[in-house]
């Protein structure tokens, strides 16, 4: 019912441990996590190190709620499928990423109607409790709101591929 | 070397797995009509669309110099094999390498920085400025302060 993913490069045990602790208190809610580079064992959630793209897509669409690091792949997929999404950004200061850009991503994406951003395990528990009480409400798809920015980008790429003249510099 | 058909451009779309790949998938409508090849780090990318031309290269970053070298060699092989007219990347390091190498065979090149880089350009995007024909940021403020262009975003 809950699908968690932390990407594949560096460990992100802060998120996984927080989720595991919550799952220990909520054994009726099945949690499945792609743990990536984590070396730890988590007793209260089902884990797999890595999923193929098709397995990932299957798990993703079956889930009622997604818990994730602030990775754009997950954010885009959740918006497309209208999945509620809890984001915990990886932080440089904890050695969870090579830069602090996930913090920026999370800040910028917090306005999406399906996104809740949490900073730590405690906030994650609160967000999960809230989602559980509300019965994992289905988020509305963001598909309609993405097109205004996407179409101009597609056009500039199209022009570039077919060598159509376009102005070289933005304002 | 295969005979070139100049009726339609040959495009090589290069992206690491994960978010870079997902963003590239959102951009594929822009390649309609071209001969499209993908290069990515995740071999399972081919599972979902076996009919497409998908090439894989090793994932690497500035902290894995040996893998970077393997990545360079693999990317050079892919480029010489496909001979693209256009190379477009959504990052990360492998995308910059592809663009740097693609210059040597005269391809047109575009680096589109991941939308994850909301405050500053990625290292790969910064390196691509002055190397790629076009470097795009998906954030207007980032574009304005860096010499990249803002032309829209995937979300």
Give me the domains of chain A, ranges plus CATH numbers.
2-141 (3.40.50.2000)
Residue B86 has what pLDDT? 98
Disruptive mutation site among B118, B121, B142, B150 for chain A (greatest number of A CBs within 10 Å): B118
Tell me the residue ranges of DSSP E strands in A111-171: 115-117
Cα distances (Å, whole numbers) of residue B91 to A34, A57, A162, B122:
23, 22, 22, 9
Q: Would you say how long chain B is, in residues? A: 155
CA distance B85 to chain A (A): 8
Structure tokens given for B109: 């090149």
CA distance B88 to B37: 10
Contact (Cβ atoms closer than 8 angstroms) between residue B19 and residue A71: yes
Disruptive mutation site among B18, B92, B141 for chain A (greatest number of A CBs within 10 Å): B18
Structure tokens given for A131: 């989602």
Q: Which of B47, B108, B115 sits opposite A72 (nearest CB)?
A: B115
Q: What is the dihedral of CA A46, A47, A53, A57, to 10 degrees?
A: 30
Mean pLDDT, residues B119-132: 96
CA distance B141 to chain A (A): 11
Q: Which of B27, B118, B133 sits opposite A157 (nearest CB)?
A: B27
| Percent helix, strand and coil across chain A, each to the nearest 5 | 45, 15, 40
Question: What confidence tier does B62 reach under pLDDT thresholds 50, 70, 90?
Answer: confident
pLDDT at position B2 over 70 = no
Query: Could you tell me which chain B residue has the CA closest to the CA of A106?
Result: B116
Q: Which residues pair with B14 in a beta bridge?
A: B39, B89
Backbone angles phi, psi at A5, to 5 degrees: -145, 140
Contact (Cβ atoms closer than 8 angstroms) between residue B148 and residue B113: yes
CA distance B105 to chain A (A): 16
Its pTM stands at: 0.90
Residue B105 has what pLDDT? 96
- What interface predicted TM-score (ipTM) does this complex get? 0.94
Question: What confidence tier does B48 reach under pLDDT thresholds 50, 70, 90?
Answer: low
The domains of chain B, with CATH numbers, are 62-155 (3.40.50.2000)
Residue B33 has what pLDDT? 95
CA distance B10 to A169: 25
Residues of chain A with a CB closer than 8 angstroms to some CB in chain B:
7-9, 52-54, 57, 70-77, 79, 98, 101-102, 104-105, 107-108, 112, 142, 146, 149-158, 160-163, 168-170
Cα distances (Å, whole numbers) of residue B116 to A73, A85, A132, B63:
9, 16, 29, 20
Q: State the burial class of residue A41 (Cβ atoms within 10 Å of its Cβ: 0-12, 13-18, 19+).
A: exposed
Residue A167 has what pLDDT? 52
Q: Which of B22, B112, B144 sits opposite A72 (nearest CB)?
A: B22
Q: State the burial class of residue B6 (Cβ atoms within 10 Å of its Cβ: 0-12, 13-18, 19+).
A: exposed
pLDDT at position B50 over 70 = no
**Residues of chain A below pLDDT 70:** 139-147, 165-171
Residue A99: other Cβ atoms inside 10 A: 15
Contact (Cβ atoms closer than 8 angstroms) between residue A127 and residue A115: no
Q: Which residues contact A87 (CB under 8 A, 6 or more apart)?
A: A68, A69, A70, A75, A106, A109, A110, A115, A116, A117, A118
Residue B46 has what pLDDT? 76
Asked if A74 and B19 come within 8 Å (Cβ–Cβ), the reply is yes
CA distance A1 to A65: 7
Backbone angles phi, psi at A84, to 5 degrees: -65, 140
| HSE, side-chain direction, 13 A CA sphere, residue B134 | 29
CA distance B144 to A170: 8
Q: Which residues contact A12 (CB under 8 A, 6 or more apart)?
A: A6, A36, A38, A69, A88, A90, A96
Asked if B151 and A77 come within 8 Å (Cβ–Cβ), the reply is no
């Amino acid at each position: 019912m809950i699908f968690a993913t932390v990407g594949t490069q560096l460990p992100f045990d802060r998120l996984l441990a927080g989720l595991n602790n919550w799952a220990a208190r909520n054994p009726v809610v099945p949690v499945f996590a792609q743990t990536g580079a984590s070396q730890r064992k988590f007793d209260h959630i089902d884990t797999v190190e890595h999923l193929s793209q098709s397995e990932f897509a299957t798990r993703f669409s079956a889930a009622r709620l997604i818990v994730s690091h602030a990775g754009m792949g997950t954010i885009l997929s959740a918006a497309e499928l209208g999945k509620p999404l809890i984001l915990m950004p990886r932080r440089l200061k904890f050695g969870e990423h090579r830069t602090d850009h996930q913090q920026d991503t999370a800040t910028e994406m917090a306005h999406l109607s399906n996104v809740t951003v949490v900073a730590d395990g405690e906030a994650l528990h609160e967000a999960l409790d809230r989602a559980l009480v509300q019965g994992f409400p289905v988020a509305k798809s963001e598909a309609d709101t993405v097109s205004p920015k996407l179409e101009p980008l597609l056009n500039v790429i199209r022009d570039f591929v077919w060598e159509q003249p376009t102005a070289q510099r933005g304002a | 070397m295969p005979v070139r058909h100049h009726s339609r451009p040959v495009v090589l779309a290069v992206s690491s797995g994960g978010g870079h790949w997902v963003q590239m998938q959102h951009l594929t409508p822009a390649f309609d009509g071209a001969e499209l090849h993908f290069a990515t780090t995740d071999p399972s990318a081919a599972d979902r669309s076996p009919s497409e031309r998908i090439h894989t290269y090793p994932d690497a970053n500035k902290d894995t110099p040996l893998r970077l070298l393997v990545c360079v060699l693999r990317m050079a092989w892919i480029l010489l094999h496909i001979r693209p007219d256009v190379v477009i990347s959504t990052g990360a390091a492998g995308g910059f390498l592809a663009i740097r190498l693609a210059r040597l065979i005269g391809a047109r090149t575009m680096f589109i920085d991941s939308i994850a880089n909301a405050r500053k350009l990625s290292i790969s995007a910064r390196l691509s400025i002055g190397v790629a024909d076009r470097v795009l940021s998906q954030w207007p403020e980032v574009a304005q302060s860096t010499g990249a262009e803002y032309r829209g975003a995937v979300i």
